[in-house]
Amino acid sequence: TWGYYFKTGIIMTIPVLIVTLVALVLRLSLLN
């Protein structure tokens, strides 16, 4: 059942990517 792990991996990875992108944008805006 690799599809299950693949799906859960995507579900857990997308929020982390969004949070890191938001943190980078906030850091850049604060520096400027």
For residue range 1-32, what is the model confidence (pLDDT) as tens digits?
899 999 999 999 999 999 999 999 999 999 88
Question: What integer pLDDT is reported at residue 24 of this predicted model?
Answer: 97
Question: What integer pLDDT is reported at residue 29 of this predicted model?
Answer: 94
Q: What is the per-residue DSSP string for 1-32? A: -HHHHHHHHHHHHHHHHHHHHHHHHHHHHHH-
Q: Where are the domains of the chain?
A: 1-32
pTM score, whole prediction: 0.62
Question: What integer pLDDT is reported at residue 11 of this predicted model?
Answer: 96
Question: What integer pLDDT is reported at residue 4 of this predicted model?
Answer: 94
Question: What integer pLDDT is reported at residue 1 of this predicted model?
Answer: 86
Burial grade of 27 (CB within 10 A; 0-12, 13-18, 19 or more)? exposed
Question: What integer pLDDT is reported at residue 27 of this predicted model?
Answer: 96
